[in-house]
Amino acid sequence: MSLSWKIARKYLFAKKSHHLINVISLVSIIGVGVSTMGLIIVLSVFNGFGNLVLSLYDSFDPDIKITAVKGKTFHPEAASLGIVKKIKGIEAITKCIEENALLKYNDKQYVATLKGVDTAFFVTSGIQDKIVAGDPIIESNGTPFMIVGGQIAYALGIRPNDPLHRINITMPRKGIDPANALIDPNSAFIQRTINVAGVFSIQQDFDSKYAIVPIALMRELTENEEQVSALEIKVLPNTDSEELKIVLKNIVGNKFEVKDRLEQHDFLYKILKSEKAAVYLILGFILLISAFNLFGTLTILIVDKRNDIITLSNLGADLSLIKKIFLIEGLLISLSGAIAGLIIGAIICLLQQQFGFIHLENAEGFVTDAYPVAMQLTDFFFVITIVFVIGFSAAWFTSQQIVKRQLPKTRLS
């Protein structure tokens, strides 16, 4: 252990000549610790809310989605579906067709997005776990059924498995001659009726927009025998989605987009990232303010230990050794506070994860009644790094400037 380290450690833990210096040193450590603890807790809560929001999308969205760069639909084989099916790591692939349609139930109407899927949709998504009424069925014994979002069901007054009332689906016919449409308006539309088997509730974006039907029915409504709007892929557990996405991009080519869950909601993902960056910036300033306490503490400590410094100088210590002592002293103060703050912050986050003792106000109807928490190792690394940088900068400036100013009459000056 170097001499500068031994002396710095002694100055940190040994009794000072003035009790006030002990108090100021303790305040500096507590200031850094509280700032660090607050940063970890706030970042963990922010991560928790971010994961909660994304998990709601995960219940409906696939792990990976393939769509055309141009146009609304494409032929599956144009995206090399036969080759894609053979790729290791893929559990299931769903063919999807999406189109807007007018839904009528009794005397009420609603414009929704019909999503035609095959039975693999219940593998590629988690919608079966979000059924709040009825059954997760889109086809039984050749009979098609519909699953609607909760807000659509509420707007239309739908009761699942109602034997007396069916939903009427109306969709514009493509390629109709306007002249014929004027003569016979009904010829401009395709209509089908269907029973509602279930109602799902995920979150507003989905509940107010989507109605799920068999893809065979969608092909009838859209008069589309082969085209699809998207290929939705479920990835096997323990498969690297990023590597699989790269493989898929190489196979399908530049005419198709391959997006993971986050990229499917790119705007939301960017908002979460930008807000987290703002949290880093704001709380980083708080840590910077804590550095001023460190600056004051070291200044007072240097004044208090002036006689010791002169003694060391007379014994042969050079200026660089004296500066190094107080540089290490500043780092010990800042890192002691940071480590204590990280430990306490982690304990609070673990307790919140386990018991949820801090509750959200007016959380009725929300998916959780307690603040969600998700700790990430990168946050701990970032926090300890920024504390080290700020503490080192403050300690270096103090040791460089104050030591010489306090020793004008020694040979060190």
Within 8 A by CB and 6+ apart from 385, the residues are none
pLDDT digits (tens, 9 = 90+) for 382-392: 888 888 888 88
One-letter-per-residue 3-state SS of 378-394: HHHHHHHHHHHHHHHHH
The yes-or-no verdict on residue 413 having pLDDT over 50 is no
Q: Which helix (H) or strand (E) holds 164?
A: none
Q: How confident is the model at residue 15 (pLDDT cuts 50, 70, 90)?
A: low
Q: How confident is the model at residue 102 (pLDDT cuts 50, 70, 90)?
A: very high
Looking at 140-149, 220-229, 302-311, 346-355, which range is the least confident one?
A: 302-311
pLDDT digits (tens, 9 = 90+) for 314-340: 777 777 777 787 788 788 888 888 899
The yes-or-no verdict on residue 67 having pLDDT over 60 is yes
- pLDDT for 347: 94
Mean of the per-residue pLDDT values of the chain: 82
- pLDDT for 189: 84
Q: How many CB atoms lie within 10 A of CB 238?
A: 6
Q: What percent of the chain has pLDDT over 90?
A: 28
Mean pLDDT of 143-151: 94
> Can you tell me the distance from the alpha carbon of 355 to that of 62, in angstroms, rounded to the nearest whole number?
31
Question: Domain extents for the chain?
Answer: 3-57+268-406, 64-263
| Residue scoring higher pLDDT (299 or 136) | 136
Q: How confident is the model at residue 353 (pLDDT cuts 50, 70, 90)?
A: confident
Mean pLDDT of 239-245: 88
Q: What are φ and ψ of residue 171, in 5° steps?
A: -135, 140
- pLDDT for 311: 75
Within 8 A by CB and 6+ apart from 360, the residues are 366, 368, 369, 370, 371
The yes-or-no verdict on residue 252 having pLDDT over 60 is yes
Measuring CA to CA, which residue among 241, 246, 254, 233 is closest to residue 68?
254
pLDDT digits (tens, 9 = 90+) for 256-287: 999 988 788 777 777 777 777 777 787 777 77
Q: What are φ and ψ of residue 144, in 5° steps?
A: -80, 150
Rg (CA), the chain: 32
Measuring CA to CA, which residue among 128, 387, 367, 372 is closest to residue 234?
128
